[in-house]
Amino acid sequence: MFYIVSYDIPDTPRRTKIAKILEDFGDRVQYSVFECLLEQDLLEKMIDRLEKVVKEDEDSIRVYALCGSCEKVIKVIGQGEVTKEEKYYIL
């Protein structure tokens, strides 16, 4: 499934940790926004790792799931492109 993850973290060291976690699961498309193509088990791992770092009384992380039909109508204005699932074939 396709997910958009955005965050607002006021503490710089914690914000850096959050960004590094998200880099393991998706592509940064804006400073505090990532696009992630994840199966359910990877989504759960990502959320688990984020929950270990976030301070719930100070930070905000939002994970938006986009259905297949919603994903098809994403518009990018200006630079960048929507993250796409790459198909790899091992011969």
How would you write the pLDDT of the chain (91 residues) with one tens digit per residue?
Answer: 899 999 999 999 999 999 999 999 999 999 999 999 999 999 999 999 999 999 999 999 999 998 776 766 676 667 767 766 665 555 5
Rounded Cα gap, residues 24 and 53, in angstroms: 15
Q: What Å distances lie between residue 8 and 60, 66, 87, 90, CA to CA? A: 5, 20, 32, 39
Pick the closest to residue 7 from 52, 24, 28 (CA basis).
28
Q: Please give the domain boundaries of the chain with CATH numbers for all domains.
A: 2-71 (3.30.70.240)
Amino acid identity for residue 38 in this structure? L
Rounded Cα gap, residues 54 and 88, in angstroms: 34
